[in-house]
Structure 1
């Protein structure tokens, strides 16, 4: 649970995009484009529907003619190339009219409980123009330019769970297709990818007329949806300790199950070696302009070379082969390589792993109630267990408390500032659980161990949030980051990567220590091609025939 290791996690069988596509294929969901009313300037709306065994969901997309000077990935932007919502059911004409007045405004508008998510996206201008021009001229786009970017549009937010009036998570949590985390958001992005493909083809046809080429399906499949993610997402894993615990616990349980496999079959061994080779191809195509990620990529490529050489000679059949491989990696590979290997050994074992997806949600709000009868001594022991390392930190040292999390007044989004350079201390949010745990532990030491914690909190209500987190740790041992989230050298991108790896993102490209670009669904089949045979391993490039 150290940040550097959390910042080395990779997608796996338990990533939310893969969970979703496996279900869609298994249950034979059908997809259709109900409306595509977009003019020659690229302005209008479209409706795409996904119909499952019990319910239908619809992506309502609005396309806009956005001047270049207004295009921005910043959350403070007020206009976008496209805006979307995921509608619960099939929208009527009145719904479309209502949404047309609100969805393009995003935060300035309001949606309803009939909508499950709200999102927006901007074009990758150079690649978009290149693809439109090439197709309009009857040609295919340059594959190297496509690979260099990887997406035609990138989302700058996909909001759900009650934000801006959308349906609360509790309204859909009991639906089988929504039981795993973030399934509504992942469905929205999956359908957005189809809309983007259709829109670029429409714009090319508008420009080129009869000579326009159809986008090569292989090129279309290589394109994902980009995403720019910043500090607004980073505090999520601090603010949701039970949910984050459930993600990590499911992954750890999956790894433990595979490490316990006594004997690997020839088919399991062959699948692992194939996925390993395909993963090497993916890493070879992974590029970043950020020096930290560049250094990690150099190490990861070295790790893969070391791993390939080792498994070529190693016995991956008997005597708990995957356990032996993980033990070897702990001294032979970097954390980045170790975590990639931990994801890869899960791939041959769908029967051991996939069922854990249903345990990754957090639907029990009762755990957030404080048990006032618990004794001071027991709370101290819980703090020791989760934050013993933090009790020895000098929390008066400037380097230990150099940063402060706060919420911007303009956009109500989390921000990270310099405590001693900006006037933000008075607005600090409780996103430094290690520092707060040390302060609570010191205060508790002055009280009798058998005193009820309610009596302590009556005198010191400022420690309620720490006592709550300590009690939550009884059921959420992976709920706490074992690092200082306000130190001078904290890297918020590690928090972003941890969360995004569970989404299923690949090719992380930090643009600073505070925001990152990723790609989603690159290589995935489109809805009309989705089937059990291609629903799972699309994140790994195909081997040359």
Structure 2
């Protein structure tokens, strides 16, 4: 018998619509938020084991991190990078900064080994004591400006910072066994501090932010001496870490359907708790209004050159004003927040609907935050050979009706294909007739594969009405992987993105946006429908804030300081 929570959850067809997934916003359950809560609650300790940088900030640094459970080391190598070598592309081979998150204490011998391998990234190899590897470039628009201001004894202009938001931008963050690193099983089982999805990767970005602030103050002090000033703490918190995310992230959600379902179910469970189980009190409504105002300013401060995203942000800001007016008109008569959610679905855009949901979760942390412990799952692929082919075809009809409804006979329905580049083995999107390599395409279009399997099943049932899965696969061995996927994913409520991933007009950006929202990033700046710039940890507490009270950093706003120069 389904629980009341399961009954009240939104249907799969609504939740797993790709356009809606591409409209999700970060929330209190996003992975950066949950990691920072853990750091602050457990009062992790950070210290410089080594900070050997010259007046240009080049050299080596090691941060030692002590948690209630273990000790870790964050190792960075900062090198000169010419402007012509600076690139966000994955094919780059040199960066301003490379770094590794390691278990335990790094001694001199290990440091030299890391020095030989970390700066060359994919061309090098590390061992299983390393959890995560990354690289980053200085912001060409902001780093030198902030440095010059500090050297001149002035605070940098906040409006100018808001145009960018970070001193460094990372172009890749690796983990989970790549390049010899510890795999997820080792990390999750043996290191409690990083036992949630992408925790090592999120942590390395948090510490990169800290280093960016430490480094630029170090350079200013070296160059200007006592004339240099430190960055005001409010401005420090407003600095995040930039991130460039490309198509390589998109297939992850398809290839890890069980994990995706767990993330979505965690979020949908939180929504059920908030939307249906509490009456909005006067204080909670006031908090909601405060966050509506904050959201409007946040999105007005978000800079993007993408016309579509600019228009989406304008519509969002306009509709937030309408939400405010509608909510004020209720005069305390709301029985539950679900009334607002239903009205939003009937009235406003997907962006606004999903932001309302994030705000509802934000103002009820006591109902939501404990769910952060449910964000992981142990994959359990299933292939049941004894199921009848009739039962399998019925299962597909029940759970994959969205795929059967797609007309794959139309040329545009099968025009796109996914493949891996020969140079970097990174996922790419090609189009039949325009790009070579269709014969090497990746099996990502689940809907089309399910349709092909279903058609074979129907014909097979006609000829062998009493057959089962094992005999069907003996006759059609190429269908083994999709049959296993169907039998596995139908055990999970939200495992499949209900969209045709081979359609000519597919928007990989929606898949990127979904995953990044679960990470906790903000201020999306699409550069095409294939890659996006965004900001991580903007507004988050600093290492120096540990042990002190801190507020929410949801929807960060630029600080207002009297001494900011025009």
Is residue 197 of structure 2 the alignment partner of residue 181 of structure 1? yes
Contact (CA 8 Å) 2:43, 2:67: kept in 1 or not? yes
Structure 2 residue aligned with 1:114: 129
Distance 1:316 1:543, change over 3 A: farther
Residue 206 of structure 1, CA deviation: 2.6
Is 504-513 or 274-283 further displaced after alignment?
Answer: 274-283
Structure 2 residue aligned with 1:224: 240
Is residue 527 of structure 2 the alignment partner of residue 514 of structure 1? no
Structure 1 residue aligned with 2:208: 192
Residue 542 of structure 1, CA deviation: 8.1
- CA–CA separation in structure 2 for the residues paired with 1:358 and 1:262: 22
Residue 40 of structure 1, CA deviation: 2.2
Residue 329 of structure 1, CA deviation: 0.5
- CA–CA separation in structure 2 for the residues paired with 1:69 and 1:381: 58
Is residue 391 of structure 2 the alignment partner of residue 375 of structure 1? no
Q: Write out aligned runs for 1:117-128 (5 A).
A: 117-128=132-143
- CA–CA separation in structure 2 for the residues paired with 1:532 and 1:456: 63
Structure 2 residue aligned with 1:163: 178
Is 262-271 or 491-500 further displaced after alignment?
Answer: 262-271
Is 406-415 or 265-274 further displaced after alignment?
Answer: 265-274
Structure 2 unmatched ranges of 5 or more: 1-15, 562-566
Look up the SS of the partner of 1:295 in the other structure: helix
- CA–CA separation in structure 1 for the residues paired with 2:69 and 2:90: 36
Match of 1:503 among 499, 508, 519: 519
Structure 1 residue aligned with 2:556: 540
Distance 1:228 1:408, change over 3 A: same
Structure 1 residue aligned with 2:43: 28
Structure 1 residue aligned with 2:23: 8
Is 226-235 or 280-289 further displaced after alignment?
Answer: 280-289
How much is the aligned-residue C-alpha RMSD, in angstroms? 1.7
Distance 1:531 1:8, change over 3 A: farther
Distance 1:318 1:165, change over 3 A: same
Residue 386 of structure 1, CA deviation: 3.3
Is residue 406 of structure 2 the alignment partner of residue 393 of structure 1? yes
Contact (CA 8 Å) 1:59, 1:192: kept in 2 or not? no
Residue 107 of structure 1, CA deviation: 0.1
Distance 1:7 1:167, change over 3 A: same
User: TM-score when scaled to structure 2?
Assistant: 0.93
Match of 2:356 among 316, 341, 366: 341
- CA–CA separation in structure 1 for the residues paired with 2:282 and 2:548: 22
Residue 395 of structure 1, CA deviation: 1.6
Q: Write out aligned runs for 1:295-310 (5 A).
A: 295-310=311-326
- CA–CA separation in structure 2 for the residues paired with 1:52 and 1:362: 24
- CA–CA separation in structure 1 for the residues paired with 2:558 and 2:162: 15
Residue 311 of structure 1, CA deviation: 1.5
Look up the SS of the partner of 2:244 in the other structure: strand
- CA–CA separation in structure 1 for the residues paired with 2:424 and 2:290: 46
- CA–CA separation in structure 2 for the residues paired with 1:370 and 1:329: 41
- CA–CA separation in structure 2 for the residues paired with 1:210 and 1:60: 29
Is residue 290 of structure 2 the alignment partner of residue 290 of structure 1? no
Contact (CA 8 Å) 1:250, 1:359: kept in 2 or not? yes
- CA–CA separation in structure 2 for the residues paired with 1:135 and 1:532: 26
Is residue 111 of structure 2 the alignment partner of residue 80 of structure 1? no
Distance 1:498 1:290, change over 3 A: same
The C-alpha deviation readout for 1:484-524, integer Å capped at 9, x for no partner, is 11111111111000000000000000000100000000011
- CA–CA separation in structure 1 for the residues paired with 2:296 and 2:319: 10
Structure 2 residue aligned with 1:471: 487
Residue 90 of structure 1, CA deviation: 1.8
The C-alpha deviation readout for 1:347-385, integer Å capped at 9, x for no partner, is 12222211211111122x3x2131212221222223223
- CA–CA separation in structure 1 for the residues paired with 2:196 and 2:329: 39
- CA–CA separation in structure 2 for the residues paired with 1:536 and 1:102: 38
Is 263-272 or 283-292 further displaced after alignment?
Answer: 263-272
Structure 1 unmatched ranges of 5 or more: none
Contact (CA 8 Å) 1:61, 1:82: kept in 2 or not? yes
Is residue 72 of structure 2 the alignment partner of residue 60 of structure 1? no
Structure 2 residue aligned with 1:312: 328
Distance 1:24 1:536, change over 3 A: farther
Q: Write out aligned runs for 1:238-249 (5 A).
A: 238-249=254-265
User: TM-score when scaled to structure 1?
Assistant: 0.96
The C-alpha deviation readout for 1:399-448, integer Å capped at 9, x for no partner, is 01111100011101101111221121111000100110100000011223
Contact (CA 8 Å) 1:31, 1:49: kept in 2 or not? yes
Number of equivalenced pairs: 542
